[in-house]
A and B are shown apart, each in its own frame.
Chain A
Amino acid sequence: MKRSSIAKQNSQNKVLHIPSGGGAEQTPYPDFQITTPEKWKLDWDEKTRRLVTDRVENVPPYRFFSREEAQLLEALCNCALPQEDRLEGERVPIVPWIDEGLYNSRGPGYRYENMPEDREAYRMGLQGFNQTAQHLFGSAFTDLRSADQNEVMRAVAKGSPPGEIWERLSAVLFFQRLMSDVITNYYAHPAAWAEIGFSGPASPRGHIRLRLNRRDPWEAREHKPHSSVEIVRRAPGKQKGPAKGGPTH
């Protein structure tokens, strides 16, 4: 066997290190390890190992956003899905992947008739957030304190934020697009799977215990439930705008 191919094989078999519970502070699954040697062997088939290892270890460089745009988007993502419980170097990267998708023109496969194409929508939307920040608090979004940034987000999410851009760009649709990209890229990381007790890849082994309250020994064991009942009861309610379900049935 040639030297290079041995090296390649070794890197594929190296178990990816993900802290237990995904390194999250409040997870109900603090001891769940999504990449035990056993799971790596029986649940992570080779192509999935390669794909996810590459995702975790080779975060792409910025090629679409300018430095300022990337900083603004970073601040928006911190509001959209905060990770302050993780050390700076251990946070799930989101902005580089949004950049990568836009750079490679890999969108969802459709645009709403009243929305520009993806790249333009992002450039406009980022400006829009800054305009709303200026209108509400008199400075750029990145200069605001966290509570005010959340206020700006809330105004955009509700659908009629101040700012001239939003007369040409649907705030609700852009907010949903941003959130959708944040969600896709956050929950594409094994640390995010571990913190919610999602067992992740399951090929070739699959699952055996399927019924209520039944768990395969390699699935996440819940320590203390983090009930969402109160979050649901006080949630703002249905977003305006079209259905956004994704494939389910």
Chain B
Amino acid sequence: MRKFPLRDPVDVLIIGAGAAGGVLSKELAEAGFNVVVLEAGPHWVPERDFVSDEKGAGQIYWTDPRVTAGEDPIELGANVTGKGVGGSTVHYAMVALRMHESDFMVHTLDGVAQDWPIRYADLEPYYERVEKELGISGPITWPWGPKRRGSYPYREHPFNAVAELFIRGCEELGIRWAPCPLATISAPKDDRPPCVYRGWCIYGCSTNAKSSTLVTYIPKAIQAGAEIRANCMATRVNLDGNGQARSVTYIRTTEAGQQIEEEQVAQLIILSCYSIETPRLLFNSAQANFADGLANSSGLVGKGLMVHSAHIVYGRFPELVYQYKAPPTLALTQDFYETNPKNDYVRGFTIEPIGPFPQTFARQAMAGLGLWGQELREFMFDYNHYAGLGLVGECLLDDHNQVTLDPKDRDQYGLPVARVTFRWGENDHKIIEAGIQKEREILEAAGAEVTWTADDTAHLMGSCRMGNDPKTSVVNSWCRAWDIPNLFICDGSVFVTSSAVNPSLTIQAIATRTADYIIDRSRTRDFFHMVTHQNF
């Protein structure tokens, strides 16, 4: 790997080597830019680091301290964010869905939230590029949303028992279903072998079939000359006298555990730290003329944080399910995705089969059924007879839901930690209710003897949303901060609405588009001019 000297300015400095940072580093390095990526966690080697063990996988999650608050505080830690090169794509469930056309214009169509400053057509070519790069395995036909211009690059995976039961229930009820497009390969790609259905996907893939950015975009970025600087926690973005971003201060943790403060100067800085750490870094970078945090003249940094309602219904079946085998989500339905005038709510949800491992399943039985003691232990003897369906329900934009700095708690670097405040809205509650009802109907139609529900949330979206107006958004449609021309924010935090699909593919499509914009602008005029002029 190429190493850049510390004090020489690089062209592009990216903070965070996850879904977006991985894409940006590859695209920009291949276009000839000098690129450095700072990543707070380690640089994983899948064959060396990823174990077949639920507890032992704890290292791949962001478990630095945070505070969760509000009327419906969300579960953070392993439930929402990754740490280390590859970010959350190391542990995500690989569900690779596009958003629908309607998702970008919910204000126009449904009178709620805000419209995105871009439309589906703007992202379509970028979805296609990312799907090709990751080698998405998906079906030939796709019943929902905009018509696809081509087929998925790899064929769909075979079904496991949970998917089989889900499909049985759907067909019984006349609900359309499809095999789920997944970011794990079904045939060899480059030097990676196909999936062996070991089922440990969300604890890190030791087979190397899972198309996390760790094993797809990042190696190509390194090949093209990017430097991935692991174990480097960005603590502050520094500005120069003209209000331009100048450098990033970070703490590098050495192998011996020593913490060393360093600074990297760059012409262009891109924050890709996701919906909690991106606003936290902006707040922690408050300085003269930016007392409320960087890029925050709108007052919207940290606001409009969204999650998906991910409520689960489990059904007990007479048959043996062995729910731990193969990727958890091998099929899905989006029949309830769009606004339906017959409903008393707007927008909708996706339903996805899941396959939790014993610790997660037992915790959900504890919280969902109130089980403990001998009853819990005996309940768990029946683990292999359960199949669960999970919701990906839309959550409407609410600026009350936000990330701020906690006034009291500090992390291991002495920095104020993020405080996440959340509550469900009325429409969210109705979607949850309708989603749970539908999940239960499908399981019962498939022959479940008894069902029960576990509350859950998944994913993060928003907190630095994009828009066409500097007063009502943090970045423009190209992810460029309105207030600081050479600062970009490019990750899930720019989402305007949550949609009802897993967000990773959209994050990566947006990152590819932002990279194209930077490459394109720097070609037509010189790069320095581009990074210093807002209207360019």
Contacts and interface: CB of A to CB of B under 8 A. Distances in A.
A247 B91 contact: yes
Interface string A15-53: 000000000001110000000000000011101100110
A188 B363 CA distance: 13
A119 B329 CA distance: 37
A187 B54 contact: yes
A157 B316 contact: no
A46 to B, nearest CB: 10
A217 interface: no
Interface string A107-138: 11111110001000000000000000000000
Contact of A229 (B316, B370, B377, B457): B316
B67 interface: yes
Interface stretch (B277-285, B339-347, B354-362): B354-362
Interface string B324-360: 1110110000000000000000000000101011111
Taking residues whose C-beta sits less than 8 angstroms from the other chain, chain B's interface range is 35 or more
Contacts of B385: 225, 227-228
20 contacts: A81-B376, A108-B77, A109-B65, A109-B77, A111-B67, A111-B68, A180-B363, A192-B358, A195-B380, A195-B381, A197-B384, A199-B324, A213-B320, A215-B322, A225-B385, A235-B452, A236-B370, A246-B79, A247-B360, A248-B458
A206 B356 CA distance: 16
Residue in B63, B200, B362 with the greatest tally of chain A CB atoms within 10 Å: B362
B321 interface: yes
A232 B381 contact: no
Given A153-B372, A203-B52, A245 B455 contact: yes
B443 to A, nearest CB: 13
B456 A201 contact: no
B215 to A, nearest CB: 15
B366 A153 contact: no
B384 A196 contact: yes
Contacts of A201: 51-53
A81 B366 CA distance: 11
Contacts, number: 308
B111 to A, nearest CB: 29
A52 B55 CA distance: 10
A211 B52 contact: no
Contact of A248 (B72, B321, B384, B456): B456
A243 B197 contact: no
Given A179-B366, A196-B380, A187 B358 contact: yes
B367 A244 contact: yes
Interface string B432-458: 000000000000000001101111111
A111 B160 contact: no
B354 A248 contact: yes
A239 B366 contact: yes
Interface of B: 48-49, 51-56, 58, 61-69, 72-79, 91, 93, 95, 158-161, 164-165, 195-200, 202, 206-207, 310, 312, 316, 319-322, 324-326, 328-329, 352, 354, 356-360, 362-364, 366-385, 388, 390, 392, 409, 419-420, 449-450, 452-458, 502
Contact of A228 (B159, B202, B379): B379
A79 interface: yes
Given A109-B77, A195-B381, A197-B384, A249 B328 contact: yes
A187 B362 contact: yes
B267 to A, nearest CB: 34
A27 B77 CA distance: 33
A60 interface: no
Nearest to A178: B372
B51 A243 contact: no
Interface of A: 26-28, 43-45, 47-48, 51-52, 79-83, 106-113, 117, 150, 153, 157, 176, 179-180, 183-185, 187-188, 192-193, 195-208, 210-215, 219-220, 222, 225-229, 231-233, 235-239, 241-249
B64 A109 contact: yes
A199 to B, nearest CB: 7
Given A111-B68, A228-B379, A231-B382, 8 more contacts: A26-B381, A80-B372, A110-B75, A187-B359, A188-B53, A195-B380, A212-B321, A228-B381
Contacts of A112: 67-69, 73
Contacts of A233: 450
Nearest to B68: A110
Q: Which 9 A-B pairs have the closest CB atoms?
A: A245-B456, A206-B196, A109-B77, A109-B63, A236-B370, A201-B52, A243-B455, A202-B198, A228-B382
